[in-house]
Chains A and B, each alone.
Chain A
Amino acid sequence: MLHIEGLRFAWPGAQELTLDIAHLHIDAGRAVFLHGPSGCGKSTLLSLLAGVLVAGPGQVRLAGQDWAALSPARRDARRAADLGVIFQQFNLLPYLSVLDNVLLPTRFSAARAQRCPEGPLAAARQLLARVSLPQALWTQRADTLSVGQQQRVAAARALLGRPSLVIADEPTSALDAALRDNFMALLMGECRVAGSTLVFVSHDERLAGHFDERVSLPDINRAALHQTTSALA
C-alpha cells in the first residue's frame, strides 16, 4: 500500500537532510503508529506521504504510484481522491458549517464523491452520527464547536468517501485523557469499517497499544543523527 524506497529530503535552503529513509513498507488496511520526539521529521514525512511535498531522490509510492511521477495537478487530484488528513487542531474552516466542512473533499474530488453510494450528503450525515456529534450542531459554524467536537468532525471528514489512506498528525494532543481514548477508539473503528490504511503520528507512546504496528522514526531515519534544532517537526 505505502512504500518508501531510498527517500532523502531536505527543506529548501537547509544544509542538512531532514529525512533519509532507506526502506519503509506499510500493508493496506493496517493501522500504523509512527512515533518519535518533536523535531524528528514526523510532519515532514506525512507531507511526503500525502504528496504535498515531493522527495528529491527516492520514491514514495501510494498503491504502487510514485508521487514524484505525477504532475502537481494530478497529485492534488489524487490527494483529494485517496487521502484523509487530520491535523493536531484547527482542522476546520471556521466560517463553514460542520456539514460543509465534512463535505469539502467531495467538492474537490468527483472520485471521492462517487465512492459515497448513498450520496455525499447522506454519507456525511451518517459519519457525523457515527462520531456521535449531536445533530443540532451539524448546521452550525465550525468554530462554535469545542476542540473535542472539532476533532471528531475532522475524523468524519477524513473518512468521508472511504479514502485508501488516512493520515493523522497528533490529532489527540489537544484532547484530555477521556476524550483522547474516546477519539482513538472511534478513529480506529471507523478506519477499519472504511478499510482505510491509517498512519498515525504522535510522540505519545501510550497510544501505541491501539495499533497493529509501530514504527519509530528515529530508528529508520538515518538523518536523525545529524538533526539540528532548525529542523521542523
Chain B
Amino acid sequence: MKTLLRVAALSAWNRRGTLLLVVLSIALATALLLTLERLRTDIRASFLQAVSGTDLVVGARTGPVQLMLYAVFRVGGATNNIRMDSVQAIAEHRAVAWVVPLALGDSHRGFPVLGTTPAYFQHFRYGEQQPLELSAGQPFAGNLDGLYEAVLGAEVADRLGYGLGQRITLSHGLAPQAGALAAEHDDKPFTVVGVLARTGTPVDRTVHVSLQAIEAIHLDWVGGAPLPGLRISAENARKFSLEPKQVTAALVGLKGRAAVFNVQRFVNGYEAEPLLAVLPGVALDELWEAVGIGEQALLAMSGLVALVSLAGLVAVVLAGLNERRRELAVLRAVGAGPRQVLFLLAAEGAMVTASGALLGALAAAAGVLLAGPAVQARFGVALAWGAPTAMQWALFAAVLGAGMLAALVPGWRAYRLSLADGLSPRT
C-alpha cells in the first residue's frame, strides 16, 4: 500500500508536465464553483437584509415585488403615488408606532434621490436590526432653515468624491445620462451635511433630502419640465407651503408584530385610495426567487465546467496509459496484482483531483480576500472570507468524489490491460 502510493506519486511527478495542466483545470473549476457559491450566499444575505425592522412597506396598488423594487431597491419607477393623507391615516392607526414617507423620482448623477423625514434616520434598520450611522456630519434638519440639506450614502460620497459642505444639484427623473438633456434643478443647489456609514444596502447609493426640499424644487415645475416664465428662487420657495401632497411609498413600524396582518388588512382595504401593504421579508423572499434563477444557472454552469475538467483528467490519464504499459508490466512482474494496478491509477487520479481541488479552494479564498474590498465598494456586497459554508464543503467534496470516480475509468482500463497483456505488453 505504502509502496503503491509512493510509486503512484513518483510516477505522477515523472509526468508532471501534463498532469499539472489537469491540476490547473480542476483548480480553476473548483475556484469557480466555490467563489460563485460564496457570492451567491453573500449576495443573498445582503439582498435579504436590505431592510429590516420595518413591518410593512406601503405603496400604490401594484405587485409586491414591484413595490419592493422601487421602494427599497430604487429600481424602476412607481406607477402611482399615494396621497399624503392616506399616509397620515395609517400613522393614526392605533397599532402603528411610526411611519416614514418616501418620495422618489429625482436623481443626482445617476444616484437616486430619496425625499423623506428625519425619522428615517431614526427608524430605518438593515441587516440584523442595525440602525443607520453617520460617518460624518449630521442628518438634515427637516425644517425651513435646513431646507436644502442632503445626506449622502457611503457609495455616493466615495464614488463622486464628495465631503461635507459639497454643493450638489439634483436632476429631474431617474438616472439621466451625463451630458444628455437632463432637466436640472440647478436653481436650488443642496449642501451635503452628512455622510452615512457603509451598509451594503441600496442606502449606500442614495442621496437623502427632506420631503419639503422635494416639494420646493418642484414648485415651478409641471409635468417634468420647468414652467416657462415662472421662476421661484431658492429663497422665495421657503414662503410657499412645502407640505407634500403625495409621496411614493411609506415604511411602517408597528407597536407589536402581532398586529401586522391587522394593519395590512386595514391598508389593503383602505377606501379612499387603492393601497398595497407588503411584509418586506415575504416580498424579499419572493423577489429573490425571481432573480435567483440566474444565479442558479451560473452555479449549474460552473458545475459543468467542473465536469469538463474531470473529463479532461480521464482523457489525459487514458491517453497516457498506452505509454505506461511497460511500467504496468514491470509492476506485474515484481508481484503487483491487477487490483493493485487499478489502485495505482485510482490513487493517481485522486492525488491529481485533490491537489487541484485544494489549489482551487486556496485560489477562491485568496480571490475573496483580495477582491472583497473592491466588490464591497463597487457592488455593496460584503464578501465573507471566513469558514466555508456547508454548501461550499459539499461542492468541494463533490469535486473530490467525482474526481475519484472519474479516475476509476483509466484504472479499470489499466486493470483490463494488465490482465490481457501478461508479462509483455502487446503493443
Question: Inside 8 A of B10's CB, which chain A residues have their CB?
Answer: 93, 95-96
Question: Inside 8 A of B14's CB, which chain A residues have their CB?
Answer: 94-95
From residue B422, how far is it (CB to closest CB) to chain A in Å? Answer: 3
A-contacting residues, B294-342, CB 8 Å: 326-327, 329-340
Q: Assess whether B11 is interfacial by the CB under 8 Å rule.
A: yes
Q: Contact check: which of B7, B326, B339, B423 meets A96 at CB < 8 Å?
A: B7
From residue A231, how far is it (CB to closest CB) to chain B in Å? Answer: 11
Q: Contact check: which of B326, B337, B423, B424 meets A76 at CB < 8 Å?
A: B337
Question: Inside 8 A of A47's CB, which chain B residues have their CB?
Answer: 422-424
In the complex, A87 Cα to B330 Cα: how many Å?
A: 9
B330 close to A169 (CB less than 8 A): no
In the complex, A167 Cα to B422 Cα: how many Å?
A: 14
- Given the known interface contacts A93-B11, A96-B7, the answer about A104 and B422 at a Cβ–Cβ threshold of 8 Å is no
Question: Inside 8 A of A167's CB, which chain B residues have their CB?
Answer: 423
Using an 8 Å CB-CB cutoff, how does the interface string of B331-371 with A read, 1 for contact, 0 for none?
A: 11111111110000000000000000000000000000000
Question: Inside 8 A of A99's CB, which chain B residues have their CB?
Answer: none
Measured CB to CB, the nearest residue on chain A to B422 is A47
Question: Inside 8 A of B333's CB, which chain A residues have their CB?
Answer: 50, 52, 79, 83, 85, 87
Q: Assess whether A53 is interfacial by the CB under 8 Å rule.
A: yes
Using an 8 Å CB-CB cutoff, how does the interface string of B389-427 with A read, 1 for contact, 0 for none?
A: 000000000000000000000000000000010111010
Q: Assess whether A12 is interfacial by the CB under 8 Å rule.
A: yes
B423 close to A169 (CB less than 8 A): yes
Q: Assess whether B241 is interfacial by the CB under 8 Å rule.
A: no
Q: Assess whether B261 is interfacial by the CB under 8 Å rule.
A: no
Q: Contact check: which of B11, B334, B337, B422 meets A157 at CB < 8 Å?
A: B334
Summarize B's interface: helix, strand, loop or mixed: helix
In the complex, A53 Cα to B3 Cα: how many Å?
A: 24
How many residues belonging to B are interface residues under a CB distance threshold of 8 Å?
25
A107 close to B3 (CB less than 8 A): yes
Question: Inside 8 A of A91's CB, which chain B residues have their CB?
Answer: 330
Q: Assess whether A92 is interfacial by the CB under 8 Å rule.
A: yes
How many residues belonging to A are interface residues under a CB distance threshold of 8 Å?
35
Q: Contact check: which of A46, A73, A90 meets B339 at CB < 8 Å?
A: A73
B11 close to A43 (CB less than 8 A): no
A232 close to B426 (CB less than 8 A): yes
Q: Assess whether A72 is interfacial by the CB under 8 Å rule.
A: yes
B11 close to A95 (CB less than 8 A): yes
A85 close to B423 (CB less than 8 A): yes
In the complex, A92 Cα to B424 Cα: how many Å?
A: 14
From residue A227, how far is it (CB to closest CB) to chain B in Å? Answer: 16
Question: Inside 8 A of A157's CB, which chain B residues have their CB?
Answer: 334
Q: Contact check: which of A44, A46, A85 meets B334 at CB < 8 Å?
A: A85
Q: Assess whether A131 is interfacial by the CB under 8 Å rule.
A: no
- Tell me which of B7, B327, B333, B422 has the highest count of chain A C-beta atoms within 10 A of its own C-beta: B333
Measured CB to CB, the nearest residue on chain B to A232 is B426
Question: Inside 8 A of B13's CB, which chain A residues have their CB?
Answer: 95
Which residues of A approach B to under 8 Å, CB–CB?
12, 43-44, 46-47, 50, 52-53, 72-73, 76-77, 79-81, 83, 85, 87, 90-96, 104-105, 107-109, 112, 157, 167, 169, 232
- A selection of 19 A-B contacts at a CB cut-off of 8 Å is A12-B420, A47-B422, A52-B422, A53-B422, A72-B338, A73-B337, A76-B335, A77-B335, A85-B333, A85-B334, A87-B333, A87-B423, A87-B424, A93-B330, A93-B331, A104-B3, A104-B331, A104-B334, A232-B426
